[in-house]
Structure 1
Amino acid sequence: MAQERTVAFKGNPITLIGPELKAGDKAPDFTLNKNLLEEVSLNDYAGKIKLISVVPSLDTGVCDAQTRRFNEEASKLGENVVILTVSADLPFAQARWCGAAGIDKVITLSDYKSNSFGEAYGVLIKEFRLDMRAVFVLDANDTITYVQVLEEMTEHPNYEGAIAAVQALL
């Protein structure tokens, strides 16, 4: 049986499924949809420093702000860094949202098919089949160097901490 732990949504308990990853762990592989037909895995970003921003849905205020913030930061981090935003939104919804929001540096990836990313990274919300707000920073060899899984879904992540973790790898 998969590991479970409790966090909160508006003060009410929700259950996360999967391991509690920590700095120093090897990042689990994943299969996510870039669009309806194209799937990508961790290997598609081999050799790059990766900031993985996980959001429940781009169509909510905090997720919108989180994705916009990391999109702004992306241009300052250079060619060796890729910022991936993962949500369970359908790829169509992600593309529509990015177009409307002018998001052009962050790559949105969808966990809608099997929630395998959420389960592998320990952020799958059992009650909603969405991924919990989190940030993971992986070095060029796919070792996790920074993890923040929020205890309350409606709060913002530590943007400065995540960016500093990326900068420390440059």
Structure 2
Amino acid sequence: MATVTLHGDNVQTSGTLPKVGSKAPDFKLTTTDLSSKTLNDFAGNKVVLNIFPSVDTGTCAQSVRQFNQEASELDNTKVLCVSRDLPFALKRFCGAEGLDHVISLSDYKDGSFGKAYGLNFVNGPLETLHSRCVVVLDENGTVKYTEQVPEIADEPNYKAALEALMDD
């Protein structure tokens, strides 16, 4: 278990993020058109997993906007925005904001992504949602960088995540 805070109050997660150098756990997530995507669908690409509780909060929305902006300049990289929001909410948000450089994926069906990555909240007001995390993978699905944001209301370290993409 990991402990993060929500406005200073401790909240626990279901485990810990995958270790740098390990193979990323596979996943099956739902797209905004209700089809499914797995990690294998992104093989051969660098992947940024921008993970958050809900796109309907200011900090989460900002992380999607920021990664959308950054993704437009990245070669051979897919930015996956993952939450337990319904696919319809993700589609509405990205459509209204004109965000087309990120891929929105939902873990709403069974939360298996959050369980596999050890980031589901197990207590507190956001119980069962995902904690705010960034996981960067290389073209082979190996974890290059992880960040579990210590205070849920704070944004991730975009610069560190993007720098991890450049490391060989």
Tell me the TM-score normalised to structure 1 length.
0.93
- CA–CA separation in structure 2 for the residues paired with 1:33 and 1:20: 21
The one-letter code matched in structure 2 to 1:150 is V
SS at match of 1:13: strand
- CA–CA separation in structure 2 for the residues paired with 1:37 and 1:66: 23
- Comparing both structures, which one devotes a greater share of its residues to strand? 1
The one-letter code matched in structure 2 to 1:163 is L
- CA–CA separation in structure 2 for the residues paired with 1:130 and 1:36: 21
Shift of 1:18: 2.8
Q: Does 1:142 align with 2:141?
A: yes
For residues 111-139 of structure 1, give each alpha carbon's deviation from its aligned partner in whole angstroms, at most 9, with x where no partner exists.
11111111111111113211100000000
Shift of 1:22: 1.9
Mapping 1:18-29, distance limit 5 Å = 18-29=15-26
- CA–CA separation in structure 1 for the residues paired with 2:165 and 2:30: 24
Contact 1:77–1:167 at 8 Å: present in 2 too? no
2:91 — aligned with what? Answer: 95
How many residues are treated as equivalent by the alignment?
Answer: 165
Q: Does 1:130 align with 2:126?
A: no
Shift of 1:25: 1.2
- CA–CA separation in structure 1 for the residues paired with 2:117 and 2:85: 17
Tell me the TM-score normalised to structure 2 length.
0.94
Q: List gaps (5 residues or longer) in structure 2.
A: none
1:30 — aligned with what? Answer: 27
Q: List gaps (5 residues or longer) in structure 1.
A: none
1:10 — aligned with what? Answer: 7
For residues 60-102 of structure 1, give each alpha carbon's deviation from its aligned partner in whole angstroms, at most 9, with x where no partner exists.
1111111100000111112x11000001100000000001111
- CA–CA separation in structure 1 for the residues paired with 2:21 and 2:111: 24
2:165 — aligned with what? Answer: 166
Shift of 1:36: 6.0
The one-letter code matched in structure 1 to 2:144 is T
SS at match of 1:131: coil
- CA–CA separation in structure 1 for the residues paired with 2:166 and 2:93: 28
1:116 — aligned with what? Answer: 112
Aligned residues: percent identity? 45
Which runs of structure 1 show a deviation greater than 6 angstroms over 4 or more consecutive aligned residues? none
Deviates more, 1:17-26 or 1:131-140: 17-26
The one-letter code matched in structure 1 to 2:25 is P
